[in-house]
Structure 1
Amino acid sequence: MPANLLDQLRQMTVVVADTGDIESIEAFAPRDATTNPSLITAAAQMPQYQSIVDETLRQAKELCGPEAPASAIVSAAFDRLAVSFGLRILKVISGRVSTEVDARLSYDTGATIAKARQLIGLYEAAGVSRERVLIKIAATWEGIQAAAILEKEGIHCNLTLLFGLHQAVACAEAGVTLISPFVGRILDWYKKETGRASYLPEEDPGVLSVTAIYTYYKKFGYETEVMGASFRNIGEIVGLAGCDLLTISPSLLAELRASEGVLERKLAAEKAACASVERISMDKAMFEQMHAADRMATEKLDEGIAGFTKALETLEALLAARLTSI
């Protein structure tokens, strides 16, 4: 009798938990875990994690001093809350946690670098090596340039909100550690654009996009890891079996674990190395040209930054309200 799909997937792909819910991470025992502003905001509202929120607010209050205005305390706590969740997550996984830079800095290279250094500093002050942390940055041209500088400092980056090959190529040229192409959000765009209700895995636009990126990387020997993200169904995950990493929500992890059958490897470096692919000469002008020509990538990147920004504003309001009871 074959093992369930999750166990089989783990034989060919590193499985990562896409959640801020520590209990779910413990349940599925992934090597790595990823978070984003929406996930941290959701977790911060769960009753079982109020102690993390309250402790972070108390630390911020102590740091700012007794006379500090509430806005200053909330700002200090906001910067530290994702790290507080990351530190808890690192206690239950063996690998890395991804922690995201403020999405509102996505088009500011200098501010992104400063925030990334601050986040790593908080982790290191808590005794965590930077080797166990990936700093998530939106894959704008400015974000990619920030990542290039950070990687040279030994600060490893996970470039997120990635929807097009041009973003992936620029990330690889910048020497980033890992990228997170968004499979499900690409599918969402095409379903809305075409009016189709569904796609088979082998024709799913998100699956095809990640397959093309994986093939390009392996063909030309880039070391940047490809981690498919933002899945809508297990068919997309099955369609990318063999990818370097896949970050998967708890609900889809549970579905994979409950599903039986034989899982076929779809992506392999050896096969990609033989593919007929043309190399792209990437610079800022080419990036901007390709981005402007890719309406899906342009719209989804803008939408993603706006969505994460909204989540951050919700989190700031939540912290402000919680501070009154501390």
Structure 2
Amino acid sequence: MNQLEALKQYTTVVVDSSNIESIIKYCPQDATTNPSIILESINLDIYKDLIENAINYARKQGGSKEIKVINASDKVAVDIGTKILKYIPGRISTEIDARISFNTLACINRANKLIGMYEDNGIDRSRVLIKLASTWEGICAARELEKDKIKCNLTLIFSIIQAIAAAEAKAFLISPFVGRVYDWYNSRNLLNPYSVEQDPGVKLIKDIYNYYKNHDYNTIIMGASFRKKDQITALAGCDYLTISPNLLNELRNTHEPLVKNLNIFTNKIFYKSTPILESEFRWEQNQNPMAVEKLSEGIRKFSLDQQQLEIVLSTKI
């Protein structure tokens, strides 16, 4: 048994890609996309017809050129998600525009729009996760959306306080970014010598995992953004792991034994009983320089890729 097969015994494997060949090859349960992945996807032959379809859709919707570009962008994301769903048994995660990450109402409105577009494509909302940045505003949006049975993936999680607030909001799933946490510490030479047991991204997942299990939260933990295969194997037993094709391939070609590494123990992290107030959330987040910097950086990067996608579409409208 290779390590990918072994991992699937303990953890739901999700592919972090929109490449259909990779999806077919690794047989994941779910798939995730983001503006960066969508931007790369529009150059793939299998999706080229979707661009023209999105442009035609935007023209029919009318409005200013800016509105047409936004509608075309949303249509591309939804149609790529719809195509991916033909090849997986589970759910697709589709991200809203990162530029509205600090506007709760705008997040809710865009999420409802995307779900409506999926339903127009014949996809039940139960098969879609709306990805929202884990700002206070994004978490508040998730709380309202979950009440309407719109399942949310709260992404760009870098701190335990973000994870707790997401669980209190009853978000369906969270995505802590293991690799980006690792990047922050590694760039400051704080991981020399490196050991996966002391990897701060791995430790973040373990802290969240134990906090959730000790407090009976139902929110799914999906580790994301890996840099090393060892980070993945160290988290065998996490609810979900979303993994890039290159690391899925490395796991498939490795035949060393793999065991479940996540076990529940009494969590020493204490927070007062729910609900966490906005002021408490912002203070605790502010106390974590890594989380502040990486959340801000992640939103900026996704927004830049969204803008690049819109530039491509704008030339065609």
For normalisation by structure 2, the TM-score amounts to 0.96
- Segment drifting more, 39-48 vs 143-152: 39-48
- Give the secondary structure class of the aligned counterpart of 2:283: helix
- Segment drifting more, 118-127 vs 241-250: 118-127
Identify which of 1, 5, 8 aligns with 1:7.
5
Is 1:278 the counterpart of 2:270? The answer is yes
Change beyond 3 A, Cα 1:280–1:23 = farther
Aligned counterpart, 1:81: 76
Give the whole-Å Cα distance in 1 for the aligned partners of 2:66 and 2:193.
46
Give the CA deviation at 1:194.
2.6
**Aligned partner of 1:243: which letter?**
C
Aligned-residue sequence identity (percent) comes to 46
Number of residue equivalences: 315
Give the whole-Å Cα distance in 2 for the aligned partners of 1:212 and 1:171.
15
CA RMSD of aligned residues (A): 1.5
Give the whole-Å Cα distance in 2 for the aligned partners of 1:283 and 1:275.
22
- Give the secondary structure class of the aligned counterpart of 2:250: helix
Identify which of 40, 43, 46 aligns with 2:44.
46
Give the CA deviation at 1:198.
6.5
- Give the secondary structure class of the aligned counterpart of 1:194: coil
Give the whole-Å Cα distance in 2 for the aligned partners of 1:234 and 1:174.
32
Aligned counterpart, 1:242: 237
Identify which of 93, 108, 117 aligns with 2:112.
117
- Give the secondary structure class of the aligned counterpart of 2:187: helix
- Give the secondary structure class of the aligned counterpart of 2:221: strand
- Give the secondary structure class of the aligned counterpart of 1:159: strand
Aligned counterpart, 1:145: 140
Give the whole-Å Cα distance in 2 for the aligned partners of 1:140 and 1:297.
11
Give the CA deviation at 1:57.
1.5
**Aligned partner of 1:293: which letter?**
Q
Give the whole-Å Cα distance in 2 for the aligned partners of 1:69 and 1:278.
51
Aligned counterpart, 2:313: 319
Give the CA deviation at 1:28.
1.1
Give the whole-Å Cα distance in 2 for the aligned partners of 1:108 and 1:38.
21
**Structure 1: 5+ residue runs without aligned partners?**
none
- Segment drifting more, 198-207 vs 299-308: 198-207
Matches within 5 A, 1:257-272: 257-268=252-263, 271-272=264-265
Deviations 1:101-157 (A, max 9, x none): 110010000000000000111111111111100000000001000100000111110
Identify which of 135, 150, 157 aligns with 1:155.
150
Aligned counterpart, 1:302: 296
Give the CA deviation at 1:275.
4.0
**Structure 2: 5+ residue runs without aligned partners?**
none
Aligned counterpart, 1:34: 32
- Segment drifting more, 190-199 vs 134-143: 190-199
- Give the secondary structure class of the aligned counterpart of 1:11: helix
Give the CA deviation at 1:73.
2.9
Give the CA deviation at 1:231.
0.3
Give the CA deviation at 1:70.
4.5
Is 1:208 the counterpart of 2:206? The answer is no
**Aligned partner of 1:52: which letter?**
L
**Structure 1 moving runs of 4+ over 6 Å:** none
- Segment drifting more, 150-159 vs 23-32: 23-32
Change beyond 3 A, Cα 1:294–1:276 = closer
Identify which of 43, 58, 61 aligns with 1:60.
58
Give the whole-Å Cα distance in 1 for the aligned partners of 2:25 and 2:10.
21
For normalisation by structure 1, the TM-score amounts to 0.93
